[in-house]
Structure 1
């Protein structure tokens, strides 16, 4: 198995796989144009014979935070280690950029514990993620994902205001 940075010719496979899990809300639906625009964020796993097995992306918010997103493995390729290898490559990439805080939102937290992620009880502690994606998510007010972070939670936000828990309570959040 080879784990490598995605290339533009991988966009169709990434698009198909990510959107195969968007109908039930597991992943956010992505347009083909969006996948192409962000293909450099993706890392893919391919079999020794070149068959696409899965993908994951690392979104950079800034020097304070990155996010693992769209990590998904084809059903027939699960339990072969592709998910762990992709995740490891994404963590390494964040570290190469000097980013010590890596977050993600998931419904399968047990997979991520063994890679040093821990649960973030208060999602508002990740305001860049909330501002970037949660505002447009169809599950905004009924989110069933677990927020997780590897490293320390950043004390800065660059996309929107950092809302403290007390402020959120006052405004009805």
Structure 2
């Protein structure tokens, strides 16, 4: 099994897999253009024979926080370790960038516990995520996902009301 950064040629497979789970709200629907624009955020897994197995993305909010998004494997690849290998690569990428706080929203928290994620009781403690995606989610007022974080919860935000971007530059610079 190979885990690697996605290439533009992977966009169709990513689009098809992510959107196969958007009908029931498991994942947010993504347009093909959005996948292409953000393909560099994705990491993919493929079999030794080159068959696409799954994907996951790492979205950067700033030096204080990133988010694991759209992590999914094909049904026939479940239990083969592809999801864990993708997640491990995304965590390693966050660490390479010096980001200590990684968040995600999920309906399967048990999978993420073994990778050091823990639940966040109050989702508003992650305002960057709320401002970026939650407002567009069909389940906005009836969210059934568990917010999780690996590392500490950031005390700053660049999209939400915690502090302004100029203050972030002074803090991180």
TM score, norm. by length of structure 2:
0.93
Once the two structures are TM-superposed, the CA of residue 162 in structure 1 deviates from its matched residue by: 2.7
Counterpart for residue 42 of structure 1: 42
Counterpart for residue 76 of structure 1: 76
Note the aligned Cα RMSD (angstroms). Answer: 0.8
Residues in 1 aligned to 2:136 and 2:72: alpha-carbon distance in whole angstroms:
21
- After superposition, where does 1:12-51 map in structure 2 within 5 Å? 12-51=12-51
Once the two structures are TM-superposed, the CA of residue 119 in structure 1 deviates from its matched residue by: 0.2
Once the two structures are TM-superposed, the CA of residue 83 in structure 1 deviates from its matched residue by: 0.3
SS for the counterpart of 1:98 is coil
- The answer for unaligned runs of 5 or more in structure 1 is 164-173
Once the two structures are TM-superposed, the CA of residue 142 in structure 1 deviates from its matched residue by: 0.2
Greater mean deviation of Cα atoms: 154-163 or 108-117? 154-163
> Runs of at least 4 residues of structure 1 off by over 4 A?
none
Counterpart for residue 8 of structure 2: 8
Residues in 2 aligned to 1:160 and 1:36: alpha-carbon distance in whole angstroms:
26
Once the two structures are TM-superposed, the CA of residue 34 in structure 1 deviates from its matched residue by: 0.1
Counterpart for residue 170 of structure 2: none
Residues in 2 aligned to 1:128 and 1:81: alpha-carbon distance in whole angstroms:
30
Once the two structures are TM-superposed, the CA of residue 160 in structure 1 deviates from its matched residue by: 1.9
Residues in 2 aligned to 1:119 and 1:80: alpha-carbon distance in whole angstroms:
25
Residues in 2 aligned to 1:124 and 1:160: alpha-carbon distance in whole angstroms:
10
Once the two structures are TM-superposed, the CA of residue 108 in structure 1 deviates from its matched residue by: 0.1
Aligned residues: 163
SS for the counterpart of 2:53 is strand
Once the two structures are TM-superposed, the CA of residue 136 in structure 1 deviates from its matched residue by: 1.0
SS for the counterpart of 1:33 is helix
- The answer for unaligned runs of 5 or more in structure 2 is 164-173
TM score, norm. by length of structure 1:
0.93
Counterpart for residue 171 of structure 1: none
SS for the counterpart of 1:154 is coil
